Amino acid sequence: MTSRLPIQVSRGFVVAVITSSFLPLVVACGAEAASPDGGLDATNESDVSSCDAGMVTCTDGACPTVLAACQGLPTTIVADDANIYWTNLGTKVGGGGNIPPTFKGGSIAKCLKAGCNTMPSSLVSVTENFGATLATNGADVYFSAIGTDAGTTQLFLCPVDGCASAISMLNSAATALALDAANLYWTTGPEVLACALTNCVQPTTLWQDSTKQVTAFAIDSTNVYWGTSAGSGGMLMKCAKTGCGTTPFVVGSIVRVDAMALDDTNVYAAGQVNTQSAIVKCAKTGCGTPTIIVPNFTSSALATDGISVYWAAGGAIYKCPTSGCSVPSVFASDGLPTTQTGTSIVLDSTSVYWSDPATGRILMLSK
C-alpha cells in the first residue's frame, strides 16, 4: 500500500484501472445463471462454503437476483447512484476461543446495479487484514486496514475506477465509517472522530469516553449518531458534526445496540430493550425509551427508506413498516444461513441489496 501524508484527494493521479464487462443479469428462481470464471481471484474463494452463482432457493418472499458470486467473505456493502461496492475479507487465518481470526487476500469490489454478469471488477487488493469498514461518495471508496507501517491500522482511499495501490490517509483504527461532501467520520470504539477528505493530517475528536464502546454508527446532514451496549452503558446518542466534548445528547436508552439506521425524523436500532430483542425507533430529538416496532427480532444488518425497515435474521431478509408490525413479512429468503453474521444491507429508491458471506454472494431484489 502506498503511504502519502498529508493527502490531497485528486482525480489527477495515475491509477491502474481494472475493468470487466458489465452485462445485465437475470436469474430465474432455481435456474442456472452464467457461470463465473472464479470471481476476483483464487485466494478469495477459500472461505466460500457454496459457490453457485445461479441456484437461489426461494422458499418465502420473492426471488432475488445474484449480482456477484464466488466472493471471499463479502461483508459491508455500500452504494452510489450507479454501483454497489463491498469488502471481501478474503481468507480467514487462525482464530478460535477468545482469539479473533485474521484475514488475508482481501479486496474491494464493485458491480453495476444493473448487473455485471456475476463477475464484478476489483478496485484494489487488500493483502493485509482489514475490518470490513467501507464508505463511498461516488468518487472514492474509503476503508480501514492494517498497513505496511509496522502493522499500524490506517484509513485508506481508492478511486471508484480502481487503483494499483490503496492510498493511505492517516493512521487510525475504524470500526465504522461514514462521510459527507467535506468530511470523513468514524469510530474507533471509545471515540468518534472526523477529518477533512482533503489534506487530512490530524483528525478532530468529536466525542470520547473510554468507559463506552460504540456498536453502531450513522450520520445525517448535521449530526453523528451512535449506539453503545449494556456493558458500557447502553444508549442511543448524537453529537453535532462540529463536536460535543464529553456531553453528547442522549437520544434514548437501550440495553444493547446491534445495528442502526436513520430517516429524516427517526433513529432505528436493532438490539435489546429491557429483557427482549427488538427493533425500535426513537425521534432524533429524543424519546427517553424507544418505541418497539418489531418485537423478538434483532440483527447486525438494518436499513430504512423511511417507509419500511429491512433487516437480516433467521435465514431471510425481513420487512416491516416504520409504524411497526407484530409479525414482519419475509422480503426474501434465498437460503441465507440462520446466523446472519457479517451480512450487510443497503437500499436505494427502488431496490434492496445485501451481502451473504456464507455463500459468497451479493444479491438484490426490487422493493
Domains of the chain: 211-341 (2.120.10.30)
Region 179-189: what's the mean pLDDT? Answer: 94
| Grid cell 459468497 in the structure block, residue | 360
- Work out the average pLDDT over 316-336: 88
Say how far apart CA 200 and CA 169 lie, in whole Å: 7
Whether pLDDT at 32 is above 70: no
Reported as a single tens digit per residue, the pLDDT across 218-251 is: 999 999 999 987 665 689 999 999 888 778 999 9
Least confident interval from 123-127, 195-199, 211-215: 123-127
User: What's the mean pLDDT in 256-272?
Assistant: 95
Query: Could you give the CA distance from residue 174 to residue 134 in angstroms, rounded to a whole number?
Result: 10
- 74-90: per-residue pLDDT in tens? 999 999 999 999 999 87
The more confidently predicted of residues 41 and 142 is 142
Please compute the mean of the pLDDT values over residues 164-191 and round it to a whole number.
91
pLDDT at residue 203, rounded to an integer: 93
Split at pLDDT 50, 70, 90, the class of 101 is low
The overall average pLDDT reported for the chain is 79
User: Tell me, what's the pLDDT at 118?
Assistant: 83
**What was the pLDDT predicted at 99?**
66
Whether the per-residue pLDDT at 158 is higher than 60: the answer is yes
pLDDT tens per residue, range 295-309: 999 999 999 999 999
Put residue 296 in one of left, alpha, beta given phi > 0 → left and psi -120 to 50 → alpha.
left
Q: Specify the pTM.
A: 0.82
pLDDT of 340 reads 53
Output the nine-digit C-alpha cell for 147.
498497513
Checking if the pLDDT of 358 tops 90, the result is: no
| Per-residue confidence (pLDDT) for residue 10, from 0 to 100 | 28
